[in-house]
C-alpha cells in the first residue's frame, strides 16, 4: 500500500527539500555578511532580467540537461554513474576530432556527425566501467570515479602533446573552422533593429537537448527496453525471473548514459568555445547528479532542474561580479540540493509519511 499520494512523492518532497536547501543557503549568505534577499534579486536580475542573462542561463541549462539525463537513465537501472564528467570530457575529444579533421560543407551536417562522435566517445568511456560492473562485479561508482581522473589525464596528454598547435603555449586545440560554427540564439532571433541574446553562448544545441529529453522519455516509458531498464532497477531478481539479462541492461543503460554525457560536448566545445580546452566540462558532469536527483530522474523534472541550475550558475556569476560573494556559493547550493534531495530524502519523507498516515486514520 502506498503511504502517500503520488503528488506528494513527486512534487511535495522535492519542493520541501529544495526549500530546506534554500533556507540553509540563505543562512550561509547571512553568515558571510551579505543580504540574501538582495542577493536573490541580483541573481534574478542578472540571470533572467535580460535576453543576455537568459542566453547564459539556457547555455548552462543545456549542459545540465545532457548530464542530468545521463545520470537519470543510469538511475533507472539503479546504477550510479558519477563518471559523467569524464564521459563529457571524452565526448569533447570526439567532437573536436570531427570538427577539426573532417571538412564540413555546412554546420548542420557537422552537428549531426559531431553529436554522433561525442555520444560514441562518451559511451565508449562508460563501456569499460559498465562491463566491469556487469561481468566482474566491480563497483561502478568507484570505477567511474577512477575513469574521471583517467579521462582528465588522457585529455591533458592529448591536448599538450598531440592537438596543441605548434608554437602555442596554451594546452588547447586549434580553433574549429568557421564552417562548423553553430548558430547561436543571437544569430537566430536577432532582427535588424533589436539584437537579442547579444554575446551569449546559448545556441542551437539547446533544441537538441530538448529533443534528448523527449527521446529519453519515450525510451524509458514507451519502449520495451525502457520497461526492462526500470524493471531491472526496481528488482534485479524480479527482472532475472522475467528473463531480462542483467548484463545486457547494465551495458545498454550505461552506454546510453555515457552517450548522453558525451553529447554535452556539442554545446560547450562546439557551440561555445569552438576549440577543445582543458577542463572544458567545468564540473557539469557532477551537477548532473544534483539535476537528476532533483528532477526525480524524469526528463521533464530534469529539464526544470537544469533550468534552475542554469539560473543558479549565471546568477552566481553575477553575484561574484557585483558583490563579495564568491562563485563557490553555487557549489554550496549544489551540495545542499544533493544532500537534501538525495541523501537526506528520508528526513523529509519519514515525517510526511507519518502525517499522511495520521490524516488517513482521522478521515477513515
Partner 1 sequence: MDFLTIIQVLDSTIRLATPLLLACLAGLFSERAGIFDIGLEGKMLAAAFFSAAVAAISGSVWLGLLAGIVASLVLAALHGLASITFRGNQLISGVAINFLAAGMTVLIAQDWFKQGGRTPSLLTQGRFGGIELPFAIGPSDAAAYGRPLSELISETNVVQQVYSELISGHSILVYAAFLAVPLTWWILFRTRFGLRLRAVGENPAAVDTAGVSVVGLRYAAVAICGVLCGIAGAYLATALQAGFVKDMTAGRGFIALAALIFAKWRPWHALYACLLFGFLQAVALRYQNIHLGSFVIPVQVMDALPYILTVVILAGFVGKAIPPRAGGEPYVKER
Which residues of the shown chain bind partner 1 in the complex (CB under 8 A)?
28, 31-33, 80, 82, 128, 132, 136-139, 141-143, 145-147, 149-150, 153-154, 156-157, 160-161, 286, 289, 293, 324-326, 328-336, 338-339, 342-347, 350
The rounded distance, in Å, linking the Cα atoms of 167 and 225 is: 50
Q: How far is the CB of 100 from partner 1 (least distance, A)?
A: 21
Q: Which is nearer to partner 1, 208 or 251 (CB)?
A: 251
Nearer to partner 1, 149 or 221 (CB): 149
Question: Which lies closer to partner 1 via its Cβ, residue 136 or residue 224?
Answer: 136
In the complex, minimum distance from the CB of residue 193 to partner 1, in angstroms, rounded to a whole number? 43
Cell matching residue 206: 539547446
Minimum Å distance from CB 316 to partner 1?
10
Name every residue whose Cβ is closer than 8 Å to that of residue 29 and which is 6 or more positions away in sequence.
Answer: 35, 36, 39, 325, 329
Between 195 and 347, CB nearer to partner 1? 347
Q: Are 91 and 262 in contact (CB under 8 A)?
A: yes
CB 47 within 8 A of CB 315: yes
CB of 175 to partner 1, least distance (A): 24
Nearest approach in angstroms of CB 129 to partner 1 is 8
Kindly tell me which of 111 and 163 has the beta carbon lying closer to partner 1. Answer: 163
Q: Kindly tell me which of 150 and 225 has the beta carbon lying closer to partner 1.
A: 150
Nearer to partner 1, 211 or 343 (CB): 343
Question: HSE of 243 in the Cβ direction (CA atoms, 13 Å)?
Answer: 1
The least CB distance from residue 362 to partner 1, in Å, is 26
Give the Cα separation of 185 and 197 in Å (integer).
6
Closest CA to 229 of 76, 127, 68: 76
For the packed helices 107-131 and 140-157, what is the interaxial angle rounded to 10 degrees? Answer: 130
Residue 335 Cβ, how far from partner 1 at the closest point, in Å? Answer: 4
Written as one string, the DSSP assignment of 298-353 is: -HHHHHHHHHHHHHHHHHHHHHHHHSS--THHHHHHHHHHHIIIIITHHHHHHHHH
- What is d(CA 92, CA 320) in angstroms, rounded to the nearest whole number? 28
Closest to partner 1 by CB, 179 or 350: 350
> What is the H or E stretch that residue 126 is in?
helix 107-131
The answer for 197, left when phi > 0, alpha when psi is -120 to 50, beta otherwise, is: left
Provide the minimum distance between the beta carbon of 141 and partner 1 in the complex, in angstroms, as a whole number: 5
Radius of gyration of the chain (CA): 21
Amino acid at each position: 500500500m502506498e503511504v502517500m499520494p503520488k503528488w506528494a512523492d513527486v512534487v511535495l518532497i522535492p519542493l520541501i527539500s529544495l526549500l530546506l536547501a534554500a533556507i540553509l543557503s540563505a543562512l550561509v549568505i547571512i553568515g558571510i555578511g551579505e543580504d540574501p534577499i538582495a542577493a536573490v534579486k541580483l541573481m534574478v536580475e542578472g540571470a533572467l532580467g535580460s535576453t543576455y542573462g537568459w542566453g547564459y542561463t539556457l547555455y548552462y541549462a543545456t549542459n545540465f540537461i545532457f548530464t542530468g539525463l545521463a545520470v537519470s537513465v543510469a538511475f533507472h537501472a539503479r546504477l550510479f554513474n558519477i563518471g559523467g564528467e569524464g564521459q563529457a570530457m571524452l565526448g569533447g575529444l570526439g567532437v573536436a576530432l570531427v570538427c577539426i579533421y573532417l571538412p564540413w560543407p555546412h554546420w548542420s551536417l557537422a552537428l549531426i556527425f559531431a553529436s554522433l562522435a561525442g555520444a560514441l566517445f562518451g559511451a565508449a568511456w562508460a563501456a569499460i566501467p559498465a562491463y566491469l560492473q556487469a561481468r566482474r562485479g566491480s563497483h561502478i561508482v568507484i570505477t567511474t570515479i577512477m575513469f574521471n581522473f583517467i579521462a582528465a589525464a588522457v585529455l591533458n596528454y592529448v591536448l599538450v602533446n598531440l592537438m596543441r598547435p605548434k608554437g602555442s603555449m596554451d594546452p588547447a586545440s586549434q580553433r574549429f573552422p568557421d564552417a562548423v560554427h553553430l548558430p547561436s540564439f543571437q544569430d537566430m532571433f536577432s532582427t535588424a533593429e533589436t539584437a537579442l541574446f547579444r554575446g551569449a553562448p546559448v545556441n542551437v544545441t539547446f533544441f537538441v537537448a530538448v529533443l534528448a529529453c523527449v527521446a529519453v522519455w519515450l525510451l524509458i516509458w514507451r519502449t520495451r527496453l525502457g520497461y526492462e531498464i526500470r524493471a531491472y532497477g526496481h528488482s534485479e531478481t524480479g527482472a532475472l525471473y522475467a528473463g531480462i539479462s542483467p548484463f545486457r541492461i547494465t551495458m545498454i543503460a550505461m552506454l546510453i548514459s555515457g552517450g548522453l554525457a558525451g553529447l554535452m560536448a556539442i554545446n560547450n566545445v562546439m557551440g561555445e568555445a569552438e576549440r577543445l580546452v582543458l577542463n572544458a566540462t567545468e564540473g557539469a558532469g557532477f551537477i548532473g547528479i544534483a539535476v537528476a536527483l532533483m528532477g526525480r530522474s524524469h526528463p521533464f523534472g530534469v529539464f526544470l532542474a537544469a533550468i534552475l541550475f542554469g539560473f543558479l550558475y549565471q546568477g552566481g556569476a553575477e553575484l561574484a561580479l557585483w558583490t563579495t560573494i564568491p562563485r563557490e556559493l553555487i557549489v554550496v547550493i549544489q551540495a545542499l540540493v544533493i544532500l537534501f534531495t538525495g541523501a537526506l530524502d528520508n528526513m523529509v519523507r519519514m515525517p510526511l509519511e507519518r502525517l499522511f498516515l495520521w490524516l488517513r486514520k482521522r478521515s477513515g
